[in-house]
Structure 1
Amino acid sequence: MIAFGGLLLLSGRLGDLIGRKRMLLSGLTVFTAASLLCGLAGNQELLIAGRFLQGIGGAMASAVTLGMIVTLFTEPREQAKAIGIFSFVAAAGGSIGVIAGGVLTQTAGWHSIFFINVPIGIVIVALAIRLFTPDRGLGLGVGADLVGAFLVTSGLMLLVYTINKAEERGWGSAHTLGFGALSIVLLAGFVLRQAKANSPLLPLRIFRSRYLWGANLIQILFVAGLFGFQFLLALYLQSVNGYSAVETGLAYLPGPIVIAVISLGFSARLMTRFGGRTVLLAGLAFTVAALVLLARLPVSATYVVDVLPAVVLLGVGAGLALPAVIGLAMSGATPSDSGLASGLLNTTQQIGGALGVAVLAALASSRAQSLLTDRNSTAAALTGGYHLSFGVAAGLLVAGFLLAATVLRSPKAPAQPDPRGTGKSSDADGSPASALH
């Protein structure tokens, strides 16, 4: 996760400079080779090295994916469909991976979860070589800022590391405060460098678009709540209700199914009809409702009555919100900056996920410990801790809703044909036509 989160922004910009297909193929190759290394690992050191290389390859490939989508699919309806597919894979992949990983581990051993990536990776590389047209990129001279690359990569790696270790080391520990401060200094130095560099890695002009920066802020809040939900509900099911790892994965299964139905079947049409902002607001509202339900879970839950409704509601919310927030963010970037915008969007997703899990888990643990002092049962204390964290997660989503309602608002005007006769118009909520996706 440290290598993946730290290299996304740099990889996205490099995709713009050297060509997105080249970056995608390089990343897929590194990830596939690293998976083989992990599967063959006979000691912990080799496994850690392989996992680090997986993070590098994953960042290289993931960072340019959205940039390729928005340049390959320029027609709004088709682009919305492609983003819907991407959103489904991003949202449902984790739950599907838990189930598949559990089955593989129990039937073929832990090595198999890495070996399975090798044939899949080879097939994907072969398809990418054949199907994608090479792009030349802008050239390294346009944005080869080595100092900026060092500052942002080291700063993001330290930030992700600090967040992930905060609960273990303590939020107020010298370790957390020291590394956190250092990461902030490095990232602040990166921003100052970009303001003065002749060829900046991250041109600050891209933040003139409120769709870009607004959607990225909303994604941090949304993903924090979403990742917190996935992590905390798993803990609740296993520690309070006694579910096994496989049973927990199966309990999540309706979520990816609902996400697939919504994001693949309806999101593109809804965004084309009502606009990305309206669909995003609806998705956030459904997700808030799911988290409110989880904040009322009993100590002894019945899955169908107490858990399933929240999983379904969250699936609807994610299926609506993720394609909308991605489309809105990418609509704020020019084609030449689409790889950078893609890397930025993936970076904020990682930061949101890491913060959500770390902060919400810490809140749940602290609350549970305080309840134990009042002589509650362990199960009741744990449930009380999860109640608090689910409530805080709902609050994060409410903040995202308010941000979307205000920052992403455009002056309302009736849809009018473009005076040049192109047939383009504003969408239903006043967003620019590009924000339909």
Structure 2
Amino acid sequence: MSSGLNSGGAPIAGSQVHLLVLGNLDPPPLGEVGHHPQQQPHTERGQMLAPQALRGRARGHEQTGPAALALLTEVFPAGPARNRAFSVYAAVGAASFSGGVLLGGVLTQFLGWRSVLWFSVVVGLAVLAVTRAGLPHGVGRGGRLDLPGAISGTLGLTLLVVGASSNGAVAWSALCAAVALLALFVVREHRTADPLLPLGLFRVPSVRAASLAAFLQYMGSVGMLFFAPLYLQGMLNYFPLESALALVPMSLAVFLTANYATGRLLARHTPRALMAVGLVLIGGGTALWMSTPHHGSYALHVLPGLVISGIGQGLNFPSMTSAALTGVPPERHAVAGAVNVVAQQIGASVGVAVMVLVAATSDDQLTGYHLAYLAAGLACAFGAASIAVVRRAFPATPSPATRTVMTAQPED
């Protein structure tokens, strides 16, 4: 996960376009639905593929996300044009996700789950071929890579995920080691002259709010996508293709909301307000799935939650992207974008792992699912309330004190 921070702090040897190219070497997100194939519902292989799909989906976005955000801020000036660009960015992401889910279902049903992995490589190479021709060159930043910080941060976050996903002695050992490594990471970033993550970023209210919103959105949305195939294929007897088609309305709701509504709303309301409303909708849509019975109706029990959550994501994603860069000096936009991307991936990994642990507390499988939905809904409600009490407005530009905190070098 901390490769996102590495990419944010690494416009050292080249431009943001170079990082986009490198990020596209990782497979794009195609088999979200293929990770619970109906033809192998109880095999160890199917169980192992689910976390691998989530981790594989994250790696490329960790590198391309910060670079893409930095390029948007270079090309589009602050104001309505940039807000519109962020909305289109979110809408295209939703459309590509929807297409990936659908294609993953088709490939899984007709060619087997392995075809998803191979096709991802083909698509990644195709994107790689056109990336350099279609994007402007960013401006590199001189400096040295904070290798000790990268190692301690990467290991700390990795062990945090392992600890949250395990139980017993393994969980406690991993969590203790994660705390120690992350503490070393903080000390290193505080003392080094060229930190991977300038800690002063977290003194900016909008960055803190955007990071919380990113964590909770991905906890709720990826949590739904994790449990959806289990319910649709395991209890409603859907085929992989049917399961893929069943999830398309959520991506369609994200696309339409982000593309046609959020940009206009950002011109009249603060990102804080839209993030709070978005999280309420994400949490509410997830909590609606608590009504799903063993032999439920898709239109009555599944679809409303998908659409409501999708609308919330469409409001939240462009808003949190805008907030993540508000009050941050332009030379720190890539790092601020990386912080937001890492918050997303922690939500998609640690947050979902916590939902799985909550689900495992019940002997009844469906009751466990309902408890996980409740946990995600309450977390989103708490996040919305926390963001709502932040300062009424985020500063358009960093104050002199904030700029000094984020750019000053520590004394030797």
- Shorter-chain-normalised TM-score: which range? 0.7 to 0.9
Decide which of 223, 232, 235 is 1:228's aligned counterpart.
223
1:86-101 matches, within 5 Å, as: 86-91=89-94, 93-101=96-104
Q: Structure 2: how far apart are the matches of 1:214 and 1:17?
A: 31
Relative distance call for 1:124 and 1:240 in structure 2 (3 A) is: closer
Local SS of the residue matching 1:274 = coil
Provide the identity percentage.
29
Relative distance call for 1:73 and 1:17 in structure 2 (3 A) is: farther
Q: Structure 2: how far apart are the matches of 1:395 and 1:54?
A: 26
Would you say the 8 A contact 1:12–1:340 is kept in 2? Answer: yes
Would you say the 8 A contact 2:90–2:255 is kept in 1? Answer: no
Q: Structure 1: how far apart are the matches of 2:57 and 2:377?
A: 33
In structure 2, the residue matched to 1:8 is: 4
1:179-328 matches, within 5 Å, as: 179-328=174-323
In structure 1, the residue matched to 2:33 is: none
In structure 2, the residue matched to 1:373 is: none
Q: Structure 1: how far apart are the matches of 2:184 and 2:383?
A: 28
Cα deviation code 1:151-202 (max 9, x no counterpart): 1122223323433x42xxx2xx111111121122111101001111122222
Decide which of 362, 365, 372 is 1:382's aligned counterpart.
365
Local SS of the residue matching 2:361 = helix
Q: Structure 2: how far apart are the matches of 1:190 and 1:309?
A: 43
In structure 1, the residue matched to 2:69 is: 66
Would you say the 8 A contact 2:278–2:316 is kept in 1? Answer: yes
- Displacement of 1:57 in angstroms is 5.0
Would you say the 8 A contact 2:71–2:138 is kept in 1? Answer: no
Local SS of the residue matching 1:298 = coil
Local SS of the residue matching 2:263 = helix
One-letter code aligned to 2:243: T
Q: Structure 1: how far apart are the matches of 2:131 and 2:276?
A: 35
Relative distance call for 1:201 and 1:125 in structure 2 (3 A) is: same
In structure 2, the residue matched to 1:125 is: 128
In structure 1, the residue matched to 2:159 is: 158
Would you say the 8 A contact 1:31–1:55 is kept in 2? Answer: no
Q: Structure 2: how far apart are the matches of 1:225 and 1:107?
A: 30
Would you say the 8 A contact 1:240–1:383 is kept in 2? Answer: no
Q: Structure 2: how far apart are the matches of 1:225 and 1:59?
A: 19
RMSD: 2.9
One-letter code aligned to 1:10: N
Higher CA-based Rg: 1
Cα deviation code 1:323-366 (max 9, x no counterpart): 11121112242211111111111111111111222111221222
1:324-343 matches, within 5 Å, as: 324-343=319-338
Would you say the 8 A contact 2:62–2:342 is kept in 1? Answer: no
**Residue 402 of structure 1 pairs with residue 385 of structure 2:** yes
In structure 2, the residue matched to 1:85 is: 88
Q: Is there any run of 5+ residues in structure 1 with no aligned partner, and where? A: 36-43, 370-380, 411-429
Relative distance call for 1:129 and 1:249 in structure 2 (3 A) is: same
Relative distance call for 1:109 and 1:308 in structure 2 (3 A) is: closer
- Displacement of 1:433 in angstroms is 4.2
Aligned length: 379
One-letter code aligned to 1:83: F
Relative distance call for 1:229 and 1:92 in structure 2 (3 A) is: farther
Q: Structure 1: how far apart are the matches of 2:237 and 2:262?
A: 36
Q: Structure 2: how far apart are the matches of 1:150 and 1:71?
A: 30
Would you say the 8 A contact 1:76–1:434 is kept in 2? Answer: no
**Residue 364 of structure 1 pairs with residue 359 of structure 2:** yes
Would you say the 8 A contact 2:109–2:241 is kept in 1? Answer: no
Relative distance call for 1:244 and 1:76 in structure 2 (3 A) is: same
In structure 1, the residue matched to 2:35 is: none
Relative distance call for 1:107 and 1:241 in structure 2 (3 A) is: closer
Which has the higher mean CA deviation after the structures are superposed, 339-348 or 92-101? 92-101
One-letter code aligned to 1:20: Q
Decide which of 109, 129, 139 is 2:142's aligned counterpart.
139
Would you say the 8 A contact 1:16–1:339 is kept in 2? Answer: no
Compute the TM-score of the two structures, normalised by the length of structure 1: 0.79
Would you say the 8 A contact 1:360–1:389 is kept in 2? Answer: yes
Q: Structure 2: how far apart are the matches of 1:387 and 1:92?
A: 28
Decide which of 392, 396, 410 is 2:375's aligned counterpart.
392
Relative distance call for 1:60 and 1:279 in structure 2 (3 A) is: closer
Would you say the 8 A contact 2:359–2:372 is kept in 1? Answer: yes
Q: Structure 2: how far apart are the matches of 1:90 and 1:16?
A: 27
- Displacement of 1:53 in angstroms is 9.0
Relative distance call for 1:225 and 1:26 in structure 2 (3 A) is: closer
Local SS of the residue matching 1:140 = coil
Compute the TM-score of the two structures, normalised by the length of structure 2: 0.83
**Residue 349 of structure 1 pairs with residue 332 of structure 2:** no
Would you say the 8 A contact 2:220–2:283 is kept in 1? Answer: no
